[in-house]
Amino acid sequence: MRQSELFTRTRREAPADEVAKNAKLLARAGFIHKEMAGVYSFLPLGLRVLNKLENLIRQEMLGLPAQEVSLPALQPKENWQLTGRWDKMTDLYKLEDQSERELALGPTHEEIVTPLVKNYLSSYQDLPLAIFQFQTKFRMEPRAKSGLLRGREFLMKDLYSFHRDETDLQNFYNQVIGAYQKIFVQLNLSDQTYLTLAGGGTFAEFSHEFQTLTPAGEDTIRICASCHLAVNDEISEKQKNCPNCGNGDLETETAIEAANIFKLGTNFSQPFNLTYRDKKGVNQSVIMGCYGLGVSRLMGILAEVMSDDRGLIWPVAAAPFPLHLLSLGQGDSEAIKAAAKLEQNLCALGHEILWDDRIIAAGEKFADADLIGLPRRAIISDKTLTMGKIELAERRTGEKSFLTETELCASLG
Amino acid sequence: MRQSELFTRTRREAPADEVAKNAKLLARAGFIHKEMAGVYSFLPLGLRVLNKLENLIRQEMLGLPAQEVSLPALQPKENWQLTGRWDKMTDLYKLEDQSERELALGPTHEEIVTPLVKNYLSSYQDLPLAIFQFQTKFRMEPRAKSGLLRGREFLMKDLYSFHRDETDLQNFYNQVIGAYQKIFVQLNLSDQTYLTLAGGGTFAEFSHEFQTLTPAGEDTIRICASCHLAVNDEISEKQKNCPNCGNGDLETETAIEAANIFKLGTNFSQPFNLTYRDKKGVNQSVIMGCYGLGVSRLMGILAEVMSDDRGLIWPVAAAPFPLHLLSLGQGDSEAIKAAAKLEQNLCALGHEILWDDRIIAAGEKFADADLIGLPRRAIISDKTLTMGKIELAERRTGEKSFLTETELCASLG
């Protein structure tokens, strides 16, 4: 894509009402636009990041295996009354139909997926079963000042699993932990992301979270450096030591929850009477688990954690484009012709690149490229043309090399 | 994908509360599940159809060119008051924040996209500009008994364009007509879909719609058979004849609006003071257009128009899978082994297939395949194995042929 055709522009200053680093950087770089507190538009570059994250997560979910669906945001009050959450959940958006029938605007989908599955599930042979979706969720956040880290409207991957018994749930639970770990590895987030033991709610003693260390986080966790595991401070009474090695000398850190893994047991299957016939023909309650991962929040986490004073630094797996091509030169210079040819050749090979084809000062291009933060930058100038090479720079390390076009293609993989 | 792993099942009977043919068929075939009137979940097969439609439409939008964004559902009341639609639009869902601030749940996005663009647009050189999205929309429909044809929550592609003057708007307007025509051609819908002159609202005399003939439609149009054009009955006072050839002998038909194309002029740029500096440095109001296409409605239209008494008949471009593989045989029969091998070979070549690997009666498989309605069906049985061939049948015509695996691969393109 040619940068001159992008309708967004970078800004020197962040919007005055943004306090969170992720929102400031993403707004300045033209990835997002704030509509009101906790509600953002995703602009072309930002939407590309969401799509990259979605596809990365989707592959891991399909591999579990789980089946993808799309459940609605508008949800009947009756379902929420059945589980007792209509009154209990204080951040639930409620609205009225023309006939004054009350509806919920879904912050989560247990109240929809459980009765849905009831239509298709009868025997033990139908289990296990796992269903996921990418869905816009709504939560009436009292404070929404953390940019994409805490939205009133946000994109989430939610996964629900259905099992015959707790052993089967535990197996699947462990599989999801593995899938999440793979996702964080691909995003270069695994070093600062900790599998964290947390409170389990009404059914189970514990749940698990993936917590990413950042001063912007709202959670306090205590980490075991040797096991790369953590305990959420909320259960410090119950669990004082590392759950793996028993180490009692845990370090306190600030972190944000990137994903969670929860045993629901029969909390939802009972109110909706979701049962299966076991091998003996006896009806049993289905055992459930749920597994959330905030996609737009993950974009915010990446902006918080992978950035410097010059701007964003995307990992390849989440970058809107893996390569930023900068042509330095005026009007119809050789550098621009060579860049146009390179863009064409790379696109023909299936590579996605952002070409800054604007006729502006080199310094401005470099500053914009730093702010936008694509992982690699290729520069074509009169100087590189004389050398017969392309200058390649890594955004993260600043490392430079000079490559031929063939070498550049090979390096893009 | 193996059909035995799909959590949905076909049903002989449609849910008792469905009256629309599209909803009955799609629910019976396991594509959708009704949560309440006008609100549906999209199940794995249904979501695949939506994705196919989205990708098809996306390619045409990107080609205009237009840039993809994602705008929020939660919208500030102030924006809707500015355009006067907070009170005027009777089907607008309204809700309240924790601080009792009122919000709209977006049925359309002019109130968001216009002020958004204001942040990035200053000069005539920034125009024209076109922005589109795929978004879940909400509309408080008083009657929602038409399945996917009229939803309270529905998926829509909306496109907004911004221009210096009306000539430029008209050029783009014609381009979108062309893009929409290509979409209907690819869906095999162009024969029964008419470019229809309709009322233009407050700014323009006319707008255009794409109306697809179906008894399930809510609109009455008058068609000119020779020009393949139509006039919406709502403007029969103003426009009595075919707008192209002047033919006054138009045939009255029932149809459903699949897409619309609207000149907004300065209706939205004025309240939001969206202007650009022209070549002389004078501020001018931006001229706008908007272009809607209902994605979930299109799925409903396909189900209404392309189906018979046995079930759905998807066009290749919208089918959840282009090929349905049926293996006939018991347990570990040769047919099942051959089907497993064929599935593997086809997947390795990048073909997506649904393999009915269930051990059930052949008649049940045929009935399910008819209901699900994939465009082509490949049958492997002891009979076809003896012949060394695969039986291929077209869902629409019933036409049969016997092919070798190499021939089958070649026919899949």
> Is A382:A333 a contact under the CB 8 Å cutoff?
yes
Q: Is residue A316 part of a domain?
A: no
User: Is pLDDT at A93 greater than 90 in this prediction?
Assistant: yes
How far from chain centre, in Å, is Cα B215?
Answer: 18
Q: Could you give the CA distance from residue A228 to residue A231 in angstroms, rounded to a whole number?
A: 11
Q: Is residue B284 part of a domain?
A: yes
Span A239-254, pLDDT tens digits: 999 999 999 999 999 9
> Is A247:A226 a contact under the CB 8 Å cutoff?
yes
User: Is pLDDT at A332 greater than 90 in this prediction?
Assistant: no
Mutate to test the interface with B, among A55, A58, A67 (most CBs of B within 10 A): A67
Residue B140 shares a structural domain with residue B199: yes
Q: Could you give the CA distance from residue B8 to residue B3 in angstroms, rounded to a whole number?
A: 9
Among chain B residues, the shortest Cα distance to A115 is held by: B35
Q: Which of A276, A308, A340 is the last residue before a domain boundary?
A: A308
Q: Could you give the CA distance from residue B380 to residue B248 in angstroms, rounded to a whole number?
A: 55
- Domain limits at A385? 323-412
Q: Could you give the CA distance from residue B199 to residue B17 in angstroms, rounded to a whole number?
A: 34
Long-range contacts of B45-50 (CB under 8 A, 24+ apart): B45/B6, B45/B8, B45/B320, B45/B372, B46/B299, B46/B320, B47/A68, B47/A69, B47/A70, B48/B320, B48/B321, B49/B299, B49/B302, B49/B314, B49/B318, B49/B319, B49/B320, B50/A70, B50/B155, B50/B295, B50/B296, B50/B299
Q: Could you give the CA distance from residue A7 to residue B127 in angstroms, rounded to a whole number?
A: 9
Residue B207 shares a structural domain with residue B179: yes
Q: Which of B242, B276, B308 is the last residue before a domain boundary?
A: B308
CB-closest option in B7, B119, B153 to A129: B7
Q: Does B63 touch chain A (CB under 8 A)?
A: no
Do the Cβ atoms of A126 and B68 come within 8 Å?
A: no
CB-closest option in A36, A68, A140 to B44: A68
Residue A40: what are its φ and ψ, rounded to 5°? -125, 150
Q: Which of A266, A282, A308 is the last residue before a domain boundary?
A: A308
With contacts defined as CB-CB under 8 Å, which chain A residues touch B9? 120
Residue B355 shares a structural domain with residue B229: no
Among A288, A229, A243, A239, smallest CA distance to A263 is for A288
Do the Cβ atoms of A98 and B140 come within 8 Å?
A: yes
Do the Cβ atoms of B95 and A98 come within 8 Å?
A: no
Span B64-123, pLDDT tens digits: 999 999 999 999 999 999 999 999 999 999 999 888 899 999 999 999 999 999 999 999
Per-residue pLDDT band at B273 (split at 50, 70, 90): very high
Do the Cβ atoms of A76 and B136 come within 8 Å?
A: no
With contacts defined as CB-CB under 8 Å, which chain A residues touch B68? 44, 47
Query: Mean pLDDT across the stretch B243-253?
Result: 95
Say how many domains are in chain B: 2
Q: Which residues of A143-158 are buried (b: 16+ CB within 10 A; e: fewer)?
A: ebebbbbbbbbbbbbb
For A354, counting Cβ atoms within 10 Å of its Cβ (0-12 exposed, 13-18 middle, 19+ buried), the class is buried
Interface of B with A in 122-161 (CB under 8 A): 126, 129, 131, 136, 138, 140, 142, 152-153
Residue B337 shares a structural domain with residue B286: no
Among B277, B291, B294, B355, smallest CA distance to B323 is for B355
Q: Is residue B316 part of a domain?
A: no
Q: Could you give the CA distance from residue B266 to residue B83 in angstroms, rounded to a whole number?
A: 11
Span B143-167, pLDDT tens digits: 888 999 999 999 999 999 999 999 9
H helix intervals, B255-294 = none
CA atoms within 13 A on the CB side of A24: 16
Q: Does A340 touch chain B (CB under 8 A)?
A: no
Spell out the residues 6+ positions from residue B33 whose beta carbon is closer than 8 angstroms to its own. Answer: A116, A119, B27, B40, B41, B43
Q: What percent of chain A has pLDDT over 90?
A: 93
Per-residue pLDDT band at A392 (split at 50, 70, 90): very high
Span A157-205, pLDDT tens digits: 999 999 999 999 999 999 999 999 999 999 999 999 999 999 987 778 8
Residue B135 shares a structural domain with residue B235: yes
Residue B208 shares a structural domain with residue B263: yes
Identify the H or E element spanning B184: helix B166-186
Residue A174 shares a structural domain with residue A264: yes
ipTM reported for the complex, 2 dp: 0.97
With contacts defined as CB-CB under 8 Å, which chain A residues touch B40? 72
Q: Does A91 touch chain B (CB under 8 A)?
A: yes
Torsion of CA A314, A315, A316, A319, to 10 degrees: -30
Q: Could you give the CA distance from residue B138 to residue B156 in angstroms, rounded to a whole number?
A: 10
Q: What is the DSSP string of A196-252?
A: EEEE-TTT-SEEEEEEEE-TT-SEEEEEETTTTEEEEGGGTTT--S-TTT----PEE
CA atoms within 13 A on the CB side of B407: 10
Per-residue pLDDT band at B133 (split at 50, 70, 90): very high
Question: Would you state the pLDDT for residue A336?
Answer: 93
Q: Which residues of A4-34 are buried (b: 16+ CB within 10 A; e: fewer)?
A: eebbbebeeebeeebebbbbbbbbbbbbbbb
Q: Could you give the CA distance from residue A158 to residue A264 in angstroms, rounded to a whole number?
A: 14
What are B220's strand-pairing partners?
A: B254
Q: Cis peptide leading into A128, omega within 30 of 0?
A: yes
Interface of A with B in 243-272 (CB under 8 A): none
Q: Could you give the CA distance from residue A174 to residue B24 in angstroms, rounded to a whole number?
A: 39
Query: Mean pLDDT across the stretch B21-50?
Result: 97
Question: Would you state the pLDDT for residue B203?
Answer: 78
Q: Does A105 touch chain B (CB under 8 A)?
A: yes
User: Is pLDDT at B345 greater than 80 in this prediction?
Assistant: yes
Q: Does B47 touch chain A (CB under 8 A)?
A: yes
Could you tell me whether strands A353-356 and A323-327 are parallel, antiparallel, or unpaired per DSSP bridges?
parallel
Residue A292 shares a structural domain with residue A334: no
Question: Would you state the pLDDT for residue B245?
Answer: 95
Q: Could you give the CA distance from residue B276 to residue B124 in angstroms, rounded to a whole number?
A: 6
pTM for the model stands at: 0.97
Interface of B with A in 266-305 (CB under 8 A): none
Span B279-302, pLDDT tens digits: 999 999 999 999 999 999 999 999
Among A71, A255, A264, smallest CA distance to A166 is for A264
CB-closest option in B35, B50, B93 to A112: B35
Question: Would you state the pLDDT for residue A99?
Answer: 85
Cβ neighbours, 10 Å, residue B285: 14
Whichever domain contains B247, its CATH number is 3.30.930.10
Q: Could you give the CA distance from residue A147 to residue A276 in angstroms, rounded to a whole number?
A: 43
Question: What 3-state DSSP class applies to A130?
Answer: strand
> Is A295:A53 a contact under the CB 8 Å cutoff?
yes
Question: What strand order describes the sheet that includes A400-403?
Answer: A353-356, A323-327, A376-380, A390-394, A400-403
Rg (CA), chain B: 24
Question: Would you state the pLDDT for residue A329?
Answer: 86
> Is A185:A176 a contact under the CB 8 Å cutoff?
no
Q: Is residue A317 part of a domain?
A: no
Q: Could you give the CA distance from residue A69 to residue A109 in angstroms, rounded to a whole number?
A: 12
Span A283-329, pLDDT tens digits: 999 999 999 999 999 999 999 999 999 999 999 999 999 999 999 98
Whichever domain contains A382, its CATH number is 3.40.50.800
> Is A348:A298 a contact under the CB 8 Å cutoff?
no
With contacts defined as CB-CB under 8 Å, which chain B residues touch A40? 72
Residue B302, both tokens: 């396909």
Per-residue pLDDT band at A98 (split at 50, 70, 90): confident
Do the Cβ atoms of B74 and A39 come within 8 Å?
A: yes
DSSP letter (8 states) at residue A273: T
User: Is pLDDT at B202 greater than 80 in this prediction?
Assistant: no
CB-closest option in B42, B69, B91 to A43: B69
Residue A39 shares a structural domain with residue A12: yes
Question: Would you state the pLDDT for residue A265?
Answer: 96
How far CA A124 is from CA of A163, A260, A283, B192, in Å, comes to 9, 27, 10, 47
Residue B205 shares a structural domain with residue B251: yes
Q: Is residue B313 part of a domain?
A: no
Residue B31 shares a structural domain with residue B80: yes
Q: Does A364 touch chain B (CB under 8 A)?
A: no
Question: Would you state the pLDDT for residue A142?
Answer: 86
Do the Cβ atoms of B7 and A67 come within 8 Å?
A: yes
With contacts defined as CB-CB under 8 Å, which chain B residues touch A78? none
Do the Cβ atoms of B69 and A131 come within 8 Å?
A: no
Give me the amino acid identity at B229: L
Q: Is residue A314 part of a domain?
A: no
Residue B267 shares a structural domain with residue B291: yes
